[in-house]
Amino acid sequence: MKAILFLILFPCLALAQAPVLESKIHDKNRPLPPLVEARPYAELKTRAPAGAQIVFDGGRLDGFRKGRWTVKDGFFQADKVNGKGPGSLVTKQAFGDGQVHLEWAVEKSGAGNSGIYLHGLYEVQVFNSYRNATRIYADGQAGAIYGQYPPKVNACRPQGEWEVFDIHFTGPRFKEDGRLKTPARMTVEHNGHVIHDDVPLTGPSSHHKRPPYKVMPEKVPFMLQDHGNPVMYRNIWVLEKPSR
Ligand code: MG
């Protein structure tokens, strides 16, 4: 019996496809996630655990290349220079599966706009959605897997306060012929609330489209997006899982 089941299931597993979502991308009629209270900082595990790789701990921006963000008092910010943004930041190091911890904030007015792109492709949205004061489609809210999944709840703090993300990321796997073997998956916590629970991604993030996967290595740098807003980041570390 087991052998028969294996024979039936194996071709399905081997040909696993990217999920196709029924929801329309950026649907303005999609209900916004329910509001919840952010958990107090004291309850959040923000300190890098043993074995974690420190990307930014308040000092220099040595962990990144490309963008020219300004380091301030324990954080760094996307300040404009001569009216131009500083460019997106890309980590020097490539990362595989594991947990990325980061904290971000926007200024006291406005919602900001940025994002962390795991593998440089899969965006978790950085945008202040406190009490839905700034209207945006559900799959573009704070913590949304942009264009794919709205957060399950809206756990944002007010503008000017630090938001805490813990992203548990499993990259996609590809067969030798380039076809997708297994899609990327994410579990995300925002201020101590699980806002995505092991969801499979349709492919890279994009505006108004859901592009297909493209073959990538298992370890890739991540990116912090310069989207023309003075967003801030601090306390960034990665705890990689052993390779599988
Ligand atoms: Mg964004």
Q: 199: CA distance to ligand 1 center in Å?
A: 19
The torsion defined by the Cα of 225, 144, 215 and 103, in degrees rounded to 10, comes to: 50
Q: Give the helix ranges, DSSP H, for the chain.
A: 2-14
Q: What pLDDT shows up at residue 17?
A: 84
185-190/163-170 β-pairing: antiparallel
Q: What pLDDT shows up at residue 1?
A: 53
pTM for the full predicted model: 0.92
Q: 11: CA distance to ligand 1 center in Å?
A: 37
Q: Domains of the chain: which residue ranges? A: 54-240
Q: 181: CA distance to ligand 1 center in Å?
A: 28
Q: What pLDDT shows up at residue 16?
A: 65
Fold of domain 54-240: Jelly Rolls (2.60.120)
Amino acid at 41: Y
Q: 110: CA distance to ligand 1 center in Å?
A: 14
Q: DSSP assignment of 149-195, as one string?
A: B--SSB-PPPTTSPEEEEEEEE--EE-TTS-EEE--EEEEEETTEEE
CB 118 within 8 A of CB 93: no
Q: 192: CA distance to ligand 1 center in Å?
A: 21
Separation CA 92–CA 214 (nearest Å): 21
Q: Which of 60, 51, 179, 187 is nearest to 118 (CA)?
A: 187
- Tens-digit pLDDT string for the chain (244 aa): 555 555 455 444 444 689 999 999 999 999 999 999 999 999 999 999 999 999 999 999 999 998 899 999 999 999 988 889 999 999 999 999 999 999 999 999 888 999 999 999 999 999 999 999 988 999 999 999 999 999 999 999 999 999 999 999 999 999 999 999 999 999 999 999 999 999 999 999 999 999 999 999 999 999 999 999 999 999 999 999 987 6
Separation CA 78–CA 89 (nearest Å): 10
Task: Tell me phi and psi for residue 98, to 5 degrees.
Answer: 155, -165
Q: 5: CA distance to ligand 1 center in Å?
A: 43
Q: 2: CA distance to ligand 1 center in Å?
A: 46
Q: For ligand 1, an ion, list residues with CB under 5 A.
A: 115, 125
Q: 30: CA distance to ligand 1 center in Å?
A: 19
